[in-house]
Amino acid sequence: RDALVTSTVNCLTSFLSGFVIFTVLGYMAEMRDVEVEDVARDKGPSLLFITYPEAIANMVGSTFFAIIFFLMMITLGLDSTFGGLEALITAVMDEYPQVLAGRRELFVLGLITVCFLGSLSTLTYGGAYVVKLLEEFGAGCSILTVVLLETIAVSWCYGIQRFSHDVTAMLGSPPGVFWKLCWVAVSPALL
């Protein structure tokens, strides 16, 4: 039930966000007297830090909305960081419990320090190029490739029966035929 609620809210939020994004892009195209495609050509950081602040500056109460907008960006960035790092932290803590027992905080501090030091390169004069490089090659196809390899490893190498047994141990009931079919055929085919 929670998964359905989360999925539905996520889907509706994305749908509503699409309306908001294209409304703003349409407004900006009208203000610049260009086509929407020319405004939408700005992607990534330029859309976020140039186009949207320009649109917000033309609104009534622009200071309030600018503060809310950038606070939202900060919270989204932090949330994405927490989500991504928590998976790594949990995996390492589960793999090496005897080494890291009672030292979770130190491990998290070390990991965050490594992430901080790695991100300092984006603050240099060539930082925009580093961000562009990460945007082009750090996401997209590379993530899909990793997910495809994980799907193949779980479905075919580890085995669907062993994976189903693990799911049964975690949830208390065995997964249905639909889920097994999705794990073995549908997910790898769609990736």
Instruction: Map out the domains of the chain as residue ranges.
Output: 1-49, 59-125, 140-191
171 annotated among ligand-binding-site residues: no
48 annotated among ligand-binding-site residues: no
14 annotated among ligand-binding-site residues: no
List, for residues 42-68, the tens digit of each pLDDT value. Answer: 666 777 777 788 888 888 888 999 999
33 annotated among ligand-binding-site residues: no
Element (H, E) at 16: helix 2-32
Torsion angle defined by CA atoms of residues 160, 190, 91 and 136, in that order, rounded to the nearest 10 degrees: 160
CA angle (158 as vertex; 155, 162 as ends), nearest 5: 90
b/e per residue 110-120 (b: at least 16 CB within 10 A):
eeeeeeeeeee
Residue 102 near residue 93 (C-beta atoms within 8 A): no
Q: Is the pLDDT confidence value at 155 over 70?
A: yes
CA proximity to 47, closest of 173, 134, 55, 30: 55
Confidence (pLDDT) at 34: 85
Q: Which two tokens stand for residue 4?
A: 């359905």
